[in-house]
Structure 1
Amino acid sequence: MTKSYRPLLERLGLTYPQYLVLLVLWEQDGVTVSEIGRRLRLDSGTLTPVLKRLESAGFLLRTRRQSDEREVEIALTPEGAALRADAVSVRESVMCQLELSEPEIRALRKDLSLVIERLSVSD
């Protein structure tokens, strides 16, 4: 999957992990690092460098929550929000390469989530 996305994302100046983080934020802006990590199944050690690069590129802001300074909240900048329009074509291009329908993709995602969940239980 990463190989399919790479040339499309390079045009946007993004890596695949950066794209995944932005997908989470485009769905729900203003979430904590731990929430992004939970949704992407990534630990903070992996996620922090990705977030720093996205912040350096001007796509997001990292701020400590006032209610709990241990938590870092991630919010899109206007540039990060605007990138969503360009990123729509990325997913569409990859879906065309897969030659799968939306219901097939949803079923595949559900099956993969089940596999990941079952493997995670043994950790």
Structure 2
Amino acid sequence: MTDTLTQQWTVVCPYDRVDPERGVAALVGGEQVAIFRTFDGSLYAIGNRDPIAGAYVMSRGIVGTRGDAPTVASPLHKQVYDLRTGECLDEPGVSVPVYNVRLRDDMIEISR
């Protein structure tokens, strides 16, 4: 992982604009990113493109858990992805990109 001092961070939105257990989409460096806030307040960022359907819909997915993993289910075909790693828990070898996300001065920031 890249040192946070040398990363380029992009401010996306205020923390309170993302409801718990919901996602939002943002354009970061020309790429669509899905940002999620879980019930405990943690933030996760993955690629917004569903790798199976090819549509940019992951931010509209259903947030939940599988075991101890925070997850999102694709709104199209319901495959479940680990928000920490981007790995699909239902289809081996399928994944979405994961982005660095942080909260700074009540603003959500993403780094590629």
TM-score by length of 2: 0.28
Higher strand share: 2
Higher helix share: 1
Based on CA coordinates, which of the two structures has the bigger radius of gyration? 1
TM-score by length of 1: 0.26
Work out which structure has the larger RCO, using CA pairs closer than 8 Å and 6 or more positions apart in sequence: 2
